[in-house]
């Protein structure tokens, strides 16, 4: 009785409801990690990952980062990450790469929750965030180490949109940096979309409602 009364009291205010949503997302993230860990057991490097391992070992890093090859995407940030990982961890143990994929999946869900909650509220945003955590572990979806480049791109893109919620010069610069990370990680996060706000040709909105000149990203 005492515990239930405390829970009702905590949920009666906005801060308590927000805390409850984050606790539920944390529980869902833990379940997701267990689910993905079990579903993806026994995996090893596969598909494009072998290319990610081979090129840094046989080509100069600048060429690896900026020479994409026929029909390939620009993956500057992921290739730097893979280069560091393969140089320190190696390719014999796949678990660290799987943990990276799980961590990025959880980060994307959390960033989505923050962004969506500012438009529809935390309770309405929670189901979408939980859904992201359970996309699966096959190569057709994002929740796999094979999709780390897309995950980095999505995480940076969502963080950019959150930063742009409040428009200041510092936030614009940070948003441009995050956009650069996103676009140089994988283009799929921005495919078929209009230009993001910080790269729009329209004037930047002042915090007080007026307009300045063109965006700092131009």
pLDDT tens, 111-139?
999 999 998 999 999 999 999 888 765 55
Task: Compute the average pLDDT of residues 188-215.
Answer: 45
pTM (predicted TM-score): 0.75
Confidence of residue 28 (pLDDT cuts 50, 70, 90): very high
Q: Compare 191 and 70 and report the one with higher pLDDT.
A: 70
Alpha-carbon gap, residue 42 to 24, rounded angstroms: 29
Task: Compute the average pLDDT of residues 35-62.
Answer: 77
- Which residue stretches of 40-145 are H helix? 48-58, 61-66, 76-88, 95-120, 122-133
Backbone φ, ψ for residue 203 (5° rounding): -70, 150
At residue 196, does pLDDT exceed 80? Answer: no
CA distances from 210 to 42, 82, 167, 213, 214 (A): 57, 44, 12, 10, 13
Provide the Cα torsion 75, 76, 79, 80; round to 10°. -160
Contact 177, 136 (CB under 8 A): no
Contact 65, 80 (CB under 8 A): yes
Write down the pLDDT at residue 75: 82
CB atoms closer than 10 angstroms to residue 163? 21
Domain interval for residue 28: 2-214
Task: Compute the average pLDDT of residues 185-212.
Answer: 49
Total domains present in the chain: 1
Task: Compute the average pLDDT of residues 139-149.
Answer: 69
At residue 165, does pLDDT exceed 70? Answer: yes
Radius of gyration of the chain (CA): 20
What's the half-sphere exposure (Cβ side, CA atoms, 13 Å) at 118?
11
């Amino acid at each position: 009785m005492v515990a239930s009364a405390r829970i009702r009291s905590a949920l009666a205010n906005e801060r308590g409801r927000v805390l409850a949503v984050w606790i539920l997302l944390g529980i869902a993230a833990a379940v997701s990690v267990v689910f993905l860990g079990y579903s993806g057991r026994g995996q090893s490097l596969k598909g494009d990952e072998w290319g990610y391992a081979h090129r840094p070992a046989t080509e100069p890093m600048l060429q690896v980062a900026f020479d994409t090859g026929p029909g390939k995407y620009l993956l500057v940030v992921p290739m730097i990450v893979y280069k560091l990982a393969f140089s320190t961890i190696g390719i014999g143990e796949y678990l660290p790469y799987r943990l990276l994929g799980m961590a990025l999946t959880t980060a994307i869900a959390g960033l989505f929750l923050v962004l969506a909650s500012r438009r529809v509220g935390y309770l309405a945003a929670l189901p979408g965030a939980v859904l992201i955590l359970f996309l699966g572990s096959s190569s057709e979806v994002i929740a796999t180490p094979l999709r780390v480049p897309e995950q980095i791109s999505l995480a940076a893109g969502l963080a950019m949109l959150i930063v742009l919620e409040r428009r200041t010069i510092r936030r614009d610069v940070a948003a441009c940096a995050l956009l650069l990370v996103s676009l140089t990680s994988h283009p799929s996060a921005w495919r078929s979309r209009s230009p993001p706000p910080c790269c729009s040709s329209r004037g930047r909105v002042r915090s007080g409602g007026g307009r300045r000149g063109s965006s700092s990203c131009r």
